[in-house]
Copies of this chain bind each other. A is one copy, B any other.
């Protein structure tokens, strides 16, 4: 199955694949095609595992949770396993009432029928415009062809089929060793508007061939999501459809991973690496973005406080436009910190723009404006705040706010 030698660098104690593929973990195939939901581009994708995989999911906190999320949740509750994910872009199947639920169930039913597996093993995922019914005829007609195309080489087609306003496909893969056996963790994701902390936000799929029981997979997915996908923001809007799912085929042949397993920490680092990598790619591809912005808050009293502060800064429209304009206006960073709700002493705050200290003891440090400007022209832009109060820290990711964000969103449907 694996012809190419994977080029890799070592990070987080695991090998990072240079050409990541969601189908790389043993047992997974994928496909994507144009079913006619969008005008031209691919809009229907599928991931399938050759065995029922341990599965987990986290869902948007939006009160208008879309129909496919409800159907996926129902299925996952049966035995904590999934064998296939059917995903469409171009239409969110949200705010579609009874008909939307029926449509999501028919997507599931037809996929299960074509794959000859039980319905509850099929997850359903949709993203796109809210409030319009799915073009079910076209979609159902496309499913048999999609199943036929399933292949280990389906990476690219699948990644394309889930995009909306994204400008590039998003994937990540690492390999690690568990009990002497190679384990692979790979993921794919899409952004790029309505991206904001609180789950919600985007779609991501993480596959692994590690053996992990469903409850353990759910715990690690929840924990890692809080530190990665829930720490990105593009525009503060938290969508009706966002979901992260994980499937573990178990085909690597290790003994099931649990929190007591000697290789658990390594697996956690690998899983977190893939999630963080995907989260950063989503933030980098925020609508209209020209640069990734990474905000790290250290010295906080609590992790919750550090997260609030980092998210407030990376989400501030004024910070985002300052980055776009490469204006080292640290006052906006300090202002966002001030309204974040994090607990700190204003007189002990330090702010760094890249490597330049702009604020110490809550007061400005004379700064070379040109050097500050150069730091903000980097990609990624790194902003760091030390609250000098405790040991907790957090990192959040976002992007600059540009003319193109306005252009894209002022003319989305027209």
Q: Is the CB of A406 within 8 A of B324?
A: yes
Q: How far is the CA of A337 from the CA of B64 in the complex (A)?
A: 8
Copies of this chain, tallied across the complex: 2
Q: Is the CB of A322 within 8 A of B409?
A: yes
Q: How far is the CA of A327 from the CA of B409 in the complex (A)?
A: 9
Which residues in B have their C-beta under 8 angstroms from that of A409? 317-318, 321-322, 325, 401
Q: Is the CB of B318 within 8 A of A193?
A: yes
> B92, B198, B327, B414: which contacts A412 (Cβ < 8 A)?
B327
Cβ of A264 within 8 Å of any chain B Cβ, yes or no, is no
Q: Is the CB of B331 within 8 A of A95?
A: yes
Which residues in B have their C-beta under 8 angstroms from that of A406? 321, 324, 401-403, 405-406
Cβ of A228 within 8 Å of any chain B Cβ, yes or no, is no
Cβ of A158 within 8 Å of any chain B Cβ, yes or no, is no
Nearest-neighbor residue (CB-CB) of A236 within chain B:
B317
Cβ of A359 within 8 Å of any chain B Cβ, yes or no, is yes
In A117-140, which residues have CB < 8 Å from any B CB? 129-132
> B129, B346, B414: which contacts A331 (Cβ < 8 A)?
B129
Cβ of A194 within 8 Å of any chain B Cβ, yes or no, is yes
A172 to nearest B CB, angstroms? 27
Nearest-neighbor residue (CB-CB) of A325 within chain B:
B410
Q: How far is the CA of A129 from the CA of B318 in the complex (A)?
A: 13
Q: How far is the CA of A252 from the CA of B326 in the complex (A)?
A: 53
Cβ of A363 within 8 Å of any chain B Cβ, yes or no, is yes
Binds B, one of A35-43, A107-115, A203-211, A237-245: A237-245
Complex interface bits, A177-220 against B, C-beta within 8 A gives 1, otherwise 0: 00000000000000001101010100000000000000000000
Q: Is the CB of A338 within 8 A of B401?
A: no
Nearest-neighbor residue (CB-CB) of A400 within chain B:
B410
Known: A237-B316, A334-B95. A63 touches B364 (CB 8 A): no
Q: Is the CB of B401 within 8 A of A339?
A: no
Known: A324-B410, A327-B411, A414-B325. A96 touches B336 (CB 8 A): no
Known: A335-B237, A339-B63. A329 touches B363 (CB 8 A): no
Q: Is the CB of B237 within 8 A of A317?
A: yes
Which residues in B have their C-beta under 8 angstroms from that of A73? none
Which residues in B have their C-beta under 8 angstroms from that of A405? 317, 321, 406
Q: How far is the CA of A18 from the CA of B97 in the complex (A)?
A: 49
Q: Is the CB of B410 within 8 A of A338?
A: no
Q: How far is the CA of A203 from the CA of B178 in the complex (A)?
A: 61
Q: Is the CB of B410 within 8 A of A61?
A: no
Q: How far is the CA of A236 from the CA of B321 in the complex (A)?
A: 13
Q: Is the CB of B410 within 8 A of A322?
A: yes
Q: Is the CB of A131 within 8 A of B414?
A: no
> B97, B330, B347: which contacts A347 (Cβ < 8 A)?
B97
Q: Is the CB of B331 within 8 A of A363?
A: no
Which residues in B have their C-beta under 8 angstroms from that of A413? 327, 329
